[in-house]
């Protein structure tokens, strides 16, 4: 029994690796058969990525994009959490802002981006604000639902022991919201990656989005895929290196 | 230390009606007195406890404290209500206004929880978690302890043990206490005075003075 369990755990990364290898193999063979400039092989893309990395262009543009992602992510998560918790706690604030949040949630990303560029100019502030504003409403809604689901008996316990406000927030409220915050962070990061590139394409002169636009005009699919590949690697790195360890640490009491 | 007069208390039903729960009830509590409220389930014992603790101010009547200010109250809820994401030790300290590590560790020893100090509540048995909640209530140096069926749904052995340890904690630092229970034997084992509740709406049917015993040195009640 334990031997079977152990072998299952050992084989888990192997299965993941096999899936990735199979995908790359299909890609490589397919590209060889198609023999077209529009579907470069995996090795060609990898070579382009390495060359672009050595030239410094890829790290430079990737760093700029990452900076924008980090700024927009931080702003939207902090504001969205604060707003969501407040709306979940206070019915009046919820009534006041509910419509605005719904409208913002359904407004196309492109409209927000274009309007902010028109009103505030083609600058960094407008770019980051546009991305953050696109993410804000969904974070708010997730955290509002989480706050509504808070355990009232623990609330009452905190009141009966007359716990100070910040202590209640830190030790009673936030630990209950951890799963909601992680859900908002994961879906938020995914959304922000996508929107940041559009924002760069429309109004910035650097970053991965801008590079992809250039290579689109040159019809250089190899370089587009090289940037995409670098992007995928970074996303995976953040998931494995930051999100998963952080999640394990915050839910250690469950084990 | 406490003089509570309830004229009436009712709840609004989902259908919009009014459901009377408590009738006229007078309750006094001495500074080191343990009073037990005994009655059938659903008769409003917990409601009376919540009114006393200030958690339910919507009632007809008056709640008066001896010094004119609300004393420090440690509450033991029916479910332990420990924070599951904090250790037993952290749960005690988080309840304290200012940290009193000595008292907290003394209480863990008294309630036989020293070995579970750094355990998360989810890993404790119900009996241990209940004792953790009792330790937390005493950890804030309370003037009054409210206990809502602290040993319900434990096996008799664990309940007796809990009662003995509760008395030990009380002896180390005597306070006023209000104990809700439906178990008359438990009430007799712990309380100085028992109020038998019943009727609709609920009122005090009978008051029983428990004879002083060795566990409570004479002259402690005032």
How far CA B29 is from CA of A87, B76, B155, in Å, comes to 42, 18, 30
Over residues B14-55, the pLDDT tens digits come to: 888 888 889 899 999 998 899 999 998 888 889 999 999 989
The verdict on ipTM greater than 0.95 is: no
Q: How many CB atoms lie within 10 A of CB B96?
A: 17
Q: Mark yes or no for CB contact B85/A175 under 8 Å.
A: yes
Q: How close B74 comes to chain A (CA, Å)? A: 7
> Is residue B195 within a helix (H) or strand (E), and if so which, with residue range?
strand B193-198
Residue B81 lies in a domain: yes
Give burial (CB, 10 Å; 0-12/13-18/19+) of B47. Answer: buried
Per the domain annotation, does B216 fall within a domain? no
B contacts of A253 (beta carbons < 8 Å): 84-86, 120, 122
Radius of gyration of chain B (CA): 17
Q: Which chain A residue's Cα is nearest to B54?
A: A160
Q: pLDDT-derived band of residue B212, with 50, 70 and 90 as boundaries? A: low
A173: chain B residues, CB-CB within 8 Å: none
Question: In the prediction, which pLDDT does B94 show?
Answer: 96
Closest CA to A62 of A183, A254, A232, A187: A232
Question: Per the CB < 8 Å rule, is B122 touching A175?
Answer: no
Domains held by chain B: number:
1
Instruction: Say if B68 falls within a structural domain.
Output: yes
Residue B128 lies in a domain: yes
CB spacing of B97 vs A162 below 8 angstroms: yes
Query: Residue B2 phi/psi, 5° resolution?
Result: -135, 135
- Domain segments of chain A as ranges: 61-218
Closest residue in B to A164 (Cα–Cα): B97
Q: A181: distance to nearest CA of chain B, Å?
A: 16
At what angle are helices A174-203 and A221-238 packed, to 10 degrees? 160
CA B87, CA B84: separation in Å to the nearest integer? 7
Interchain contact, B84 vs A163, CB within 8 Å: no
Distance of CA A89 to the CA centre of its chain: 27
User: How near does any CA of chain B get to the CA of A160, in Å?
Assistant: 7
**Angle (CA) A236 A195 A120, round 5°:** 140
Summarize pLDDT for A82-98 with one digit per residue, the tens: 999 999 999 999 999 99
Give the pLDDT band of residue B209 (cuts 50, 70, 90): confident
Is the separation of the CB atoms in B198 and B39 below 8 Å?
Answer: yes
Nearest residue on chain A to B119, alpha-carbon basis: A253
Rounded-to-integer distance, Cα A136 and Cα A104, Å: 8
Q: Which residues of chain A have pLDDT under 50?
A: 1-2
Distances in Å between the alpha carbon of A223 and those of A59, A140, B98? Answer: 14, 37, 61
Question: What is the residue-wise DSSP string for A94-139?
Answer: HHHHHHHHHHHHHS-HHHHHHHHHHHH-SSHHHHHHHHHHHHHHHH
- First and final C-alpha spacing in chain A: 22
pLDDT category of residue B218 using cuts at 50, 70 and 90: very low
Quick check: is B220 in a domain?
no
Residue B222 has pLDDT above 50, yes or no: no
Q: What pLDDT, in 10s, does the model give residues B158-208?
A: 888 889 999 999 998 899 999 999 888 889 889 999 999 988 888 899 888
Q: Of B77, B97, B120, which is closest to A157 when you measure between CB atoms?
A: B77
CA distance A253 to chain B (A): 5
Instruction: Decide: helix, strand or coil at residue B32.
Output: coil
Q: What is the mean pLDDT of residues B78-104?
A: 94
For helices A208-217 and A221-238, what crossing angle results, to 10°? Answer: 160
Q: Which domain holds residue B73?
A: 2-209
| Assigned fold of A61-218 | MetI-like fold (1.10.3720)
Closest-CA residue of A relative to B91 is A171
Residues of A with CB under 8 A from a CB of B: 153-154, 156-157, 159-163, 167, 171-172, 175, 253-254
CA distances (Å), origin A253, targets A146, A245, A250? 19, 14, 8
Which CATH number is B199's domain given? 3.40.50.300
What does B46-77 look like in DSSP terms, one character per residue?
A: HHHHHHHTTS---SEEEEEETTSS---EEEE-
The answer to whether A167 contacts B94, with C-beta atoms less than 8 Å apart, is yes
């Amino acid at each position: 029994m334990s031997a079977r369990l152990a072998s299952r755990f050992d084989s888990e990364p192997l299965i993941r690796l096999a899936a990735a290898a199979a995908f790359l193999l299909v890609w490589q063979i397919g590209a060889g058969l198609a023999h077209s400039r529009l579907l470069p092989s995996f090795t060609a893309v990898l070579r382009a990525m390495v060359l672009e990395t050595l030239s410094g262009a890829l790290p430079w543009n990737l760093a700029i994009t990452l900076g924008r992602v980090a700024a927009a992510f931080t702003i939207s998560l902090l504001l969205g959490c604060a707003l969501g918790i407040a709306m979940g706690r206070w019915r009046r604030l919820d009534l006041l802002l509910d419509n605005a949040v719904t409208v913002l949630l359904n407004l196309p990303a492109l409209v927000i981006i274009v309007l902010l560029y028109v009103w505030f100019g083609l600058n960094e502030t407008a770019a980051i604000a546009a991305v953050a504003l696109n993410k804000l409403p969904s974070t708010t809604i997730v955290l509002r639902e989480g706050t509504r689901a808070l355990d009232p008996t623990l609330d009452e316990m905190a009141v009966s022991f007359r716990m100070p406000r910040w202590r209640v927030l830190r030790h009673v409220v936030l630990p209950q919201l951890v799963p909601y915050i992680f859900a908002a962070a994961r879906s938020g990061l995914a959304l922000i990656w996508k929107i940041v590139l559009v924002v760069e394409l429309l109004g910035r002169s650097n970053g991965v989005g801008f590079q992809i636009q250039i290579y689109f005009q040159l019809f250089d699919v190899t370089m587009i895929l090289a940037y995409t590949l670098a992007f995928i690697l970074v996303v995976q790195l953040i998931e494995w290196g930051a999100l998963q360890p952080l999640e394990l640490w915050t839910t250690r009491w469950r084990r | 230390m406490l003089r509570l007069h309830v004229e009436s208390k009712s709840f609004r039903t989902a259908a919009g009606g009014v459901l009377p729960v408590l009738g006229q009830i007078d309750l006094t509590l001495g500074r080191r007195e343990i009073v037990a409220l005994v009655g059938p389930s659903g008769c409003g014992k917990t409601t009376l406890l919540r009114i006393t603790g200030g958690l339910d101010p919507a009632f007809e009547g008056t709640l008066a404290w001896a010094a004119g200010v609300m004393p420090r109250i440690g509450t033991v809820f029916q479910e332990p209500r420990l924070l599951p994401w904090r250790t037993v030790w952290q749960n005690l300290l988080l309840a304290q206004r200012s940290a009193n590590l000595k008292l907290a560790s003394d209480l863990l020893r008294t309630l036989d929880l020293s070995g579970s100090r750094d355990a998360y509540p989810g890993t404790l048995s119900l009996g241990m978690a209940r004792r953790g909640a009792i330790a937390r209530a005493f950890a804030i140096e309370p003037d009054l302890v409210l206990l809502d069926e602290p040993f319900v749904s434990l096996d008799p052995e664990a309940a007796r043990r809990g009662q003995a340890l509760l008395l030990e904690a009380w002896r180390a630092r005597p306070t006023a206490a209000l104990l809700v229970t439906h178990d008359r034997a438990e009430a007799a084992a712990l309380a100085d005075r028992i109020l038998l509740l019943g009727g609709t709406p609920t009122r005090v049917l009978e008051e029983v003075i428990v004879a002083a015993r060795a566990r409570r040195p004479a002259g402690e009640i005032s």
